[in-house]
Amino acid sequence: MKKGQIYEGVVETVKFPNKGQIVFEERNCVAEDATISLKESDVSAKKTVVQIKNVIPGQRVRFMVSKIRKGRAEARLMEVLEKSPVECESRCRHFEQCGGCTYQNLPYEEQIKLKEGQVRELLDSVVTDYQFEGILSSPVQYEYRNKMEFSFGDEYKGGSLSLGLHKRGSFYDIVTVSDCQIVDADYRKILNETIAYFKEKETPFYHKMTHEGYLRHLLVRKGARTGEILIDLITSSQTPPDTSCM
């Protein structure tokens, strides 16, 4: 296995935090002459544990190796070749791009099983005497968030203004999550009206690299019992081009 090369494999498990594991096996010939017919005993298997983010158990994936250590490697997901037997379609149309959610392509029962295994593994590494009582499932699977912080930015360098969550695997690119499924309709309406307003005003977002721009974050909070909504607009101290938007 070499850095920069592309391989394929099946995800065996996903460990906390969101690190899928593939045990990749390379078979090396002991004989110097490759034309010689080799017995099974003449072939040694070299196993490497490869860690990949944003995968689920059972998927067959294509990946590119980014780091290699002794017996271990890190890789970047290139493509899902075959779906997992337990995989389902995500309800959210932003799921493939957005980095906000990880396991929406798993049925809720499978998500619970996966997370239970991760929690028990963490506990087993530090505690020997305990009684695990399982994970209490949530009565609500969607539109459950009562607080969200959306970021202003662009979906690609030089693109139009976007407002939402970071693109999966990216520190800078922002995906406009106008139909996000973990918040209710009030959040979606606030997000859509906010970005439409600032697009019309051509107000720039704050660039982390150049330290220029105005818009940074939109924070929305809603009381579960009262229904009251708090909206915070976080900006830089720079004056926006169109001061009438203030």
Task: Give the pLDDT of residue 25.
Answer: 86
Q: What is the domain count for the chain?
A: 2
Structure tokens at 13: 């498990």
Low-confidence residues of the chain, pLDDT below 70?
27-45, 241-246
Q: Does residue 94 lie in a domain region?
A: no
140 lies in some domain: no
- Both 154 and 75 in one domain: the answer is no
Model pLDDT, residue 185? 97
Residue 35 pLDDT: 43
What is the C-alpha separation between 82 and 60, in angstroms, rounded? 5
Range of the domain at 78: 6-27+42-82
What Rg, from alpha-carbon coordinates, does the chain have? 23
CB-CB contact of 216 with 236 (8 Å): yes
Task: Check residue 246 and give its pLDDT.
Answer: 54
Could you tell me how many helices (H) and strands (E) the chain has, helices first?
2, 11
